[in-house]
Amino acid sequence: MSRVGIMGGTFNPPHNGHVHAARQAMAAMQFDRLLLIPDNVPPHKTMPHGSADGEQRLEMTRLMAREIPGAEACDMELRRGGRSYTADTLRALQRALPEAELFLIIGTDMLLTLDKWREPETLCALAGLVTVARDDDDHAALEQKAAWLKEKWNARVWLVDCPALPVSSTDVRADRALCRAMVPPAIYQYIEQQGLYF
């Protein structure tokens, strides 16, 4: 059975925190493939004015994939259109890759709210949950949430033990110098070339 890691996000833009998270998850879990999936319309946030469009976010996700051995960008959520629910994506991947074992890579911030996502029971049934530190994490709260998800929906949770690289797309969109420092050079070049954000 091949092991497939899945990292979804808005990637508006991808930054070193995403790269770090993907590499840490890859090192801890030994995936055969890692799919980076930009969402079409994220259910949980409104896109800020002046955002990159889907095609630009996909292109930046492709550039991000080059930084992570085994990773590839996947346009399935953009092609599907509409709001992007991870449960739909996992169902589609299960159909497309029936032999694969699926793992969803998320920042610890996302684990804490996972029960508020659409169909959390489906997420827990179809994929292992691999969390990567995001910031000054409250380890007790994370362990407690993991235990609760396990109890309620039989979740399989891995809390990857690694240092955090606390940066967000929101931060880098607000500050060109931070963007240059915290975004892979090829992506920064693309941002400049396309006249994005600043």
Tell me which of 134, 137, 188, 196 binds ligand ATP, using CB under 6 A: 134
How many residues contact ligand ATP, by CB under 6 A?
A: 19
The helix (H) or strand (E) run that includes residue 139 is helix 139-153
Closest separation in Å from C-beta 41 to ligand ATP: 13
Using CB under 6 A as the binding rule, whether residue 11 contacts ligand ATP is answered as yes
Report the C-alpha gap between 162 and 20 in whole angstroms. 10
59, two tokens: 């292109």
Spatial CB neighbours of 35, under 8 Å, sequence gap ≥ 6: 4, 5, 6, 7, 71, 72, 73, 74, 93
Report in angstroms how near the CB of residue 96 gets to ligand ATP at its nearest.
22
With tokens 């941002």, the residue in question is: 191
Report the amino acid identity of residue 171.
D
Backbone angles phi, psi at 24, to 5 degrees: -65, -45
Cβ atoms 37, 77 nearer than 8 A: yes
Q: Which residue has the tokens 């709001």?
A: 83
Instruction: For residue 184, state whether it binds ligand ATP (rule: CB under 6 A).
Output: no
Smallest separation, CB 166 to ligand ATP (Å): 6
If the CB atoms of residues 154 and 170 are measured against ligand ATP, the closer one turns out to be 170
Segment interacting with ligand ATP (CB under 6 A) among 91-99, 112-120, 144-152, 163-171: 163-171
Question: Which residue's entry shows tokens 């801890």?
Answer: 28
- The size of the chain, in residues, is 198
Q: Would you say 38 and 45 are in contact if contact means Cβ atoms under 8 Å apart?
A: no
Q: Write down the least CB distance from residue 162 to ligand ATP, Å.
A: 9
Contact string 86-115 vs ligand ATP (x = CB under 6 A): --------------------xx-xx-----
Q: Is 12 in the site for ligand ATP (CB under 6 A)?
A: yes
Q: Does the protein bind ligand ATP through residue 165 (CB under 6 A)?
A: yes
Is residue 48 reached through a cis peptide bond, with omega within 30 degrees of 0 on the bond before it?
Answer: no
Query: Minimal distance in Å, beta carbon 99 to ligand ATP?
Result: 25
Does residue number 10 form part of the binding site for ligand ATP (CB under 6 A)?
A: yes
The single-letter code of the amino acid at 121 is E
Q: Is 13 in the site for ligand ATP (CB under 6 A)?
A: no
Binding site for ligand ATP (CB under 6 A): 9-12, 17-18, 21, 106-107, 109-110, 132, 134, 165-170
